Amino acid sequence: MLKLNSHPSGRHFLQIPGPTNVPDRILRAMDYPTIDHRGPEFQQLGKKILGQIGKIFQTEQPVVIYPASGTGAWEAALVNTLSPGDTVLMYETGHFATLWKKMADKLSLKSEFLGDDWRRGVDAAKIEARLRADSGHVIKAVAVVHNETSTGVTSDIAAVRRAIDAAGHPALLLVDTISSLGSLDYRHDEWGVDVTVAGSQKGLMLPPGLSFNAVSQKAIAASKTAKLARAFWAWDEIIEANKNGFWPYTPATNLLYGLSEACDMLLEEGMQNVFARHQRHAEATRQCVRAWGLEILCQNEAEYSGALTAVVMPVGAGGERCNADALRKVILANFNMSLGQGLNKLSGWVFRIGHLGDFNDLTLMGTLAGVEMGLVLAGVPHKAGGVAAAMQSLQQSAVAVAAQPA
């Protein structure tokens, strides 16, 4: 029987797809003494953050920051724009899309769920067809997840916007980017998104505790007539206070220190370089999984996530599928590494490798080596050579980058 070592040597490999590893620069920034959130020093910090955060969302519109988890930002997106009984068209891409739908139902909204395949992203054609059929414009919003954290499937948000426009429908577009913001290319303004939902604990490299709504002018106009009850989540008072660098309540001061540093780090690297780094690590991970002879959950290569890879467990010698949680337990006990579990109907037959946030080539190689050794110890059928395939992928991509003109 394997026993978890209570004092393992070395650092813990937190390779779940969020919360991610918090880099030292951010930890040191958060360690700064708390200051007066009504004073001039905080005002300077607030204006700096509010001037930077839009660059991460690729927007010139307001970004509302809450001391909350991503779930709070989900609620804020709904209650600021909709009224009781309004219909929201949503798309089932995985566990988190399902949770957002359940929240809409609890808020006295009428949700419609398209799709049911957790191995593919949003089918924009289905959204267009449903909106064309809605001649009375009963549907008030379309809500989709950009990067489904439970499956490693990314959806084409620009295609969803084109579908709404092609249908000539006035519905708002609400998008969850909780596991994609700061990791995958996302363009709030260019893609015509009305409310973008995000959280601090993934691509932004912070601990959990901050969430975001990037809001269009159309969304702000909708908030003036929306009837769902809201107080803490209301945008108007926050946006007004933000004009002077403040918040209308006590903000999460030390997390905002960290957010300031996170923005600095992302913008210093350059957002396009950040996106390319994530795609490079994702491709190396997929090459590794294929070399093991295992199956990637996402079935459409165009929808592969750059933030995480969900791996399907193989069928063992006895004809039954190997258990992903048993594998994760072996890897944690022997190598002090956490992998993401399968959620909801994926429980037990999928494990998830997070490769987002503060992440480099050596972190990836250590992660994949831990998985490969774990597969051996757990007796999971696979082929050898996955780590070597990942290393070759990284080397080839590094050579290609070096060959590009400066």
Provide the token pair at 218.
Answer: 């159309």
**Rg over CA atoms, the chain:** 22
Q: How confident is the model at residue 404 (pLDDT cuts 50, 70, 90)?
A: low
DSSP, collapsed to helix, strand or coil, labels residue 243 as coil
Whole-number pLDDT of residue 401: 62
What is the average pLDDT score of the chain?
96
Whole-number pLDDT of residue 397: 85
Q: Given this chain, do its domains 24-268 and 271-403 carry the same CATH topology?
A: no
Residue with structure tokens 């020093």? 41
Give the C-alpha separation, 164 to 250, whole Å.
38
The fold for domain 24-268 equals Aspartate Aminotransferase; domain 2 (3.40.640)
Residue with structure tokens 């757990």? 378
**CB neighbour list of residue 344: distance below 8 Å, 6 or more residues apart:** 94, 95, 98, 150
Whole-number pLDDT of residue 3: 53
Segment (H or E) for 113: strand 110-114
Give the C-alpha separation, 261 to 26, whole Å.
6
Percent of the chain with pLDDT over 90: 93
Q: Which of 78, 173, 82, 87 has the alpha carbon at shortest distance from 124?
A: 173
66-96, pLDDT tens digit by residue?
999 999 999 999 999 999 999 999 999 999 9
Whole-number pLDDT of residue 6: 59
Residue 395: phi, psi to the nearest 5? -65, -45
The Cβ of residue 72 has, within 10 Å, a number of other Cβ atoms equal to 19
Whole-number pLDDT of residue 79: 98
Is 38 annotated in a binding site? The answer is: no
Sign of CA dihedral 176, 222, 125, 103: positive
Length of the chain measured in residues: 406
Mean pLDDT value of segment 103-125: 96
Mean pLDDT value of segment 283-295: 98
Give the C-alpha separation, 258 to 29, whole Å.
6
Sign of CA dihedral 377, 379, 380, 381: positive
Whole-number pLDDT of residue 116: 82
Domain boundaries, the chain: 24-268, 271-403
Q: How confident is the model at residue 1 (pLDDT cuts 50, 70, 90)?
A: very low
165-210, pLDDT tens digit by residue?
999 999 999 999 999 999 999 999 999 999 999 999 999 999 999 9
Q: How confident is the model at residue 9 (pLDDT cuts 50, 70, 90)?
A: confident
Whole-number pLDDT of residue 28: 98
Whether residue 2 has pLDDT greater than 60: no
The fold for domain 271-403 equals Aspartate Aminotransferase, domain 1 (3.90.1150)
**CB neighbour list of residue 399: distance below 8 Å, 6 or more residues apart:** none
Residue that wins the pLDDT comparison between 162 and 10: 162
Give the C-alpha separation, 337 to 370, whole Å.
7
Give the C-alpha separation, 61 to 64, whole Å.
10
Sequence-ordered strand ranges (E) for 237-328: 295-296, 308-312
Give the C-alpha separation, 366 to 17, whole Å.
16
Whether residue 159 has pLDDT greater than 60: yes
Please check whether residue 328 is in contact with residue 339, taking contact to mean a CB–CB distance below 8 angstroms. Answer: yes
Give the C-alpha separation, 146 to 179, whole Å.
8
Whole-number pLDDT of residue 4: 52
- pTM for the whole structure: 0.95
Give the C-alpha separation, 199 to 39, whole Å.
26
Give the C-alpha separation, 368 to 194, whole Å.
38
What is the DSSP secondary structure assignment for residue 37, as one 8-state letter?
T
Q: What is the rounded (10 degree) CA torsion for 85, 90, 95, 98?
A: 20
313-355, pLDDT tens digit by residue?
999 888 899 999 999 999 999 999 999 999 999 999 999 999 9
Whole-number pLDDT of residue 7: 64
